[in-house]
Structure 1
Amino acid sequence: MTTESLPRTPAELGLPEFPVEAGPEDPAVHHVRAKLDREIRALLAYEVGTRSGADPEDLHQMRVALRRMRSVLKLSGGLVGDGAEPVRAELGWLGQSLGEVRDYDVLIEHLREVIADFEVRDQPAGHRLVSRFVAERAAAKRRLTRALSSARYSTLLREVSLLIRDQEAAAEVAEESHDLVAGLAKPHRKLTKAVRALPADPPDDDLHDLRIHGKKLRYAAELAQTSAKKKRSKRIKTLIRATRDFQTVLGDHQDAVVAAERMRTVLETADGEVGFVAGRIAERERVRRAEARAVWRESWAAVDAAAKALHA
């Protein structure tokens, strides 16, 4: 399948001219369909920039749209029909390709910022270090471009649009009671359980898993906010803000862990000058990791308080 034959606009996917809307009085299924509609439109809008690579933010936003769709389908996919889980799995396939390139973008941008603060005499070695990751990123980008040009991707887009357009499936559950705000209790419980299971000095991987739990709660809150009336909507907004801060802290921690590990890998084969720069960066990442570990429980407390306030 050629790029030209891929669906490139909402209209080509059979979606309505204007985005699907849902308000507090609408049933939960309408909110799920509206959320999927918004995110598939965002994904299509950022695809062009993702392909060109002119601005890494396009790829980032495309990935965010995809992850939001996956989260919605995980939490409430049953409302839009039996096809939700297969679609969620296929979104995961695409997410792997997007995530690989995004991880390089984050690493490269951070390394360039760090190296810019080094002495002038060390910067050429720093640039040689970064060039390694630029080359690896280019290979990952080629793999992503192939994925975006594939029949599999085209099929995925059409399957998402079918979930949005399937009025018959939506009608079957429209009269059932599904409280999206009450549904926030489940991801909050999972996050709480994960926090309580951690030792005083958690392993890096456990904190990364915690960030994923927090992201699921945030995306669930974003969906629930559209169905909530004014008072609850305001409280959900507080929860969204708290989970965003929580993700930022743990995201900084994970970025530091990854960057330090990359530098250790570089040290295995680097020449003296590049190795010296890599060692300096690894030490900086160790400090950044420690800073995030010092404050993550405080940010978690804000999330917990905001979630509990919803049901007070």
Structure 2
Amino acid sequence: MGRSQQDEIERKYDVGVETVFPNLAEVGLVAGVGQPQELRLEAVYFDTAGLDLARHGVTLRRRTGGHDAGWHLKLPKGGDARTEVHEPLGEDDSETVPDSLLGQVRAIVRDRPLRPVARLATTRREYALHDGEGAVLATVCDDEVRAERLGGAGDASAASQEWREWEVELAGGAEELLDAVGEQLRDAGASPAASASKLRRALGDLPSAGRPTADGTSNGSARQVLAAHLAEHTVRLQAEDRAVRTGQAEGIHKLRIAARRLRSALSTWRPLLDQEATEPVREELRWLGGTLAPARDAQVLREHLAEVLAGQPAELVAGPVATRIDDLLRAAYGAGRDRALEQLDGSRYFRLLDALDSLIESPPLTKDADEPAGTVLKRLLRRDIKRLRRAVRAIEAAPRTSAERDVAFHEARKKAKRLRYAAEMAEPVLGKQARSLATSAKKVQETLGVHQDSVVARERLREMGMQAHLAGENAFTFGRLHALEESRAASAEGDFDKAWKKFRRKQLDRWS
């Protein structure tokens, strides 16, 4: 079996050794049950000394026997679903974790080494459930498991265990089949599994990675809201780290957003934080965003210029403009991505992730953070609104058509984005009031974003035009594209004026 990735939906049941396996042909959605296949499976599970993967609900194993021998990485997806990534064993029969799998959990394990933590031997009887046309709807496994902890991992009271369990995994059937089969299994004497996986049962009692949740109303404390927000976006950052490493097109963009949201939260909450503890983290999040910026900026600009150029009359496109733009920006994206990946494998990034874990576990907040969330969030939002108003006044004070004005637009964009993120964080607590503020701030941010994109585009077009000229090419089209970007900036300024007037009319009195 070669490399593959698929989502699996399954449920597990604990069952006694003497319990009789039921006749699943009696399940209404099942037309027939295949003859059982007898399998003997041997699996060694890998994790860090602190069992970081297991605590995050991730399993990584090397399994022999059966029809899917190889390396298996299982990642939680929510509910009964998990994503399973499979790699073949390899010709050398090595027990070294494949780089392709290690990369997908690097944000969890960081630079901590992986080692064997458990060995499981399973005797399996596997039944295929068929529909009326013979297609497999699901498989049901009757497993007898013998587990052994390795290297002192897990609960000392569970060094070795034996148990029996039943497992139902969907193939081509609908999720309602899980309910129907589960009911039949429970009637036979099974009960929903106490452990989410064989590994968790083998390791014994194991605390999950702490992920606090907020009350969701103004009755909860501000401390709860911030801790839950940091946890949510740290999990998202780890997921987007995986997306970057596996080459997903939007991975860098989404990883950058996760970092920005975390940094923005630490900025908004600064009056309630021990800044000696949080400012270094905020600056490291800024560093991470800057590390990702070159690749993302090149990606955005390449897509935008390709679209603009495609809309130009053929007679106004002089020379190999499309090729030059595509070659230069594709190379810039590649170099930026390579540099980002290098940094994501470095100790600086791993220590940032460690610091985020510490903030989630124990946010360094002042006593004011124990006030009701609604009271604190309103105060913080008013503060961010004032910051945005000051930034807009700087735009109005700057000379028109000046670099100073472009910088002022960019600063206002950052303040609008910070306000938007803060309002979105407050929405579960403040409801429609925060949602309306977030929507208004987003509209202001987007107009300012178009303006900033045009500034970046003009800088790159000027560089590319000069390079084309020096190479003996006709640079006319680069000048035309530059002029179009100037027009785009002017249009964005007009859109910003409208969005800001609407923001002032709709939000300022409400939040004064």
User: TM range, normalised to the smaller chain?
Assistant: 0.7 to 0.9
> Per-residue deviation at 1:201?
3.1
The structure that is strand-richer by fraction is 2
Instruction: Give the Cα–Cα distance (whole angstroms) in 1 for the partners of residues 486 and 246 of structure 2.
Output: 34
Q: Is the 8 A contact 2:369 2:376 kept in 1?
A: no
2:370 aligns with 175
What are the equivalent positions in structure 2 for 1:250-265 lying under 5 Å apart? 250-265=448-463
2:390 aligns with 193
* Deviation string, structure 1 residues 53-84 (Cα, Å, up to 9, x no partner): 331x2221111111111011112156565522
Structure 2, unmatched stretches of 5+, are 1-98, 111-206
- Distance change (3 Å), C-alpha of 1:194 and 1:22: same
> Per-residue deviation at 1:135?
1.1
1:86 aligns with 280
> Per-residue deviation at 1:116?
2.0
| 2:490 partner amino acid | A
Of the three residues 281, 284, 297, the one matched with 2:481 is: 281
- Distance change (3 Å), C-alpha of 1:165 and 1:78: farther
2:323 is the counterpart of 1:127: yes
- Distance change (3 Å), C-alpha of 1:277 and 1:161: same
Instruction: Give the Cα–Cα distance (whole angstroms) in 2 for the partners of residues 195 and 128 of structure 1.
Output: 37
Q: Is the 8 A contact 1:181 1:221 kept in 2?
A: no
Of the three residues 259, 279, 290, the one matched with 2:490 is: 290
Stretch moving more, 155-164 or 215-224: 215-224
Instruction: Give the Cα–Cα distance (whole angstroms) in 1 for the partners of residues 441 and 463 of structure 2.
Output: 33
Report the TM-score when normalising by structure 2: 0.54
| 2:268 partner amino acid | L
- Distance change (3 Å), C-alpha of 1:243 and 1:175: closer
What are the equivalent positions in structure 2 for 1:70-219 lying under 5 Å apart? 70-77=263-270, 79=272, 81=274, 82-119=276-313, 122=317, 124-166=320-362, 175-176=370-371, 179-197=376-394, 198-199=396-397, 201=400, 203-219=405-421
Instruction: Give the Cα–Cα distance (whole angstroms) in 2 for the partners of residues 130 and 19 of structure 1.
Output: 45
> Per-residue deviation at 1:19?
6.1
> Per-residue deviation at 1:308?
2.2
Report the count of equivalent residues.
303
> Per-residue deviation at 1:130?
2.1
> Per-residue deviation at 1:32?
0.5
Q: Is the 8 A contact 1:30 1:170 kept in 2?
A: no
Q: Is the 8 A contact 1:43 1:66 kept in 2?
A: yes
- Distance change (3 Å), C-alpha of 1:272 and 1:151: same
2:257 aligns with 64
Report the TM-score when normalising by structure 1: 0.86
Q: Is the 8 A contact 1:191 1:210 kept in 2?
A: yes
- Distance change (3 Å), C-alpha of 1:240 and 1:151: same
2:234 is the counterpart of 1:40: yes
Structure 1, unmatched stretches of 5+, are none
The structure that is helix-richer by fraction is 1
Q: Which has the larger radius of gyration?
A: 2
Instruction: Give the Cα–Cα distance (whole angstroms) in 2 for the partners of residues 208 and 224 of structure 1.
Output: 25
Stretch moving more, 286-295 or 70-79: 70-79
Percent identity of paired positions between Structure 1 and Structure 2: 32
- Distance change (3 Å), C-alpha of 1:207 and 1:38: same
Instruction: Give the Cα–Cα distance (whole angstroms) in 2 for the partners of residues 43 and 103 of structure 1.
Output: 19
Stretch moving more, 25-34 or 172-181: 172-181
> Per-residue deviation at 1:153?
1.0
| 2:370 partner amino acid | E
* Deviation string, structure 1 residues 152-179 (Cα, Å, up to 9, x no partner): 1111111101111127x56966534661
Instruction: Give the Cα–Cα distance (whole angstroms) in 2 for the partners of residues 79 and 34 of structure 1.
Output: 16
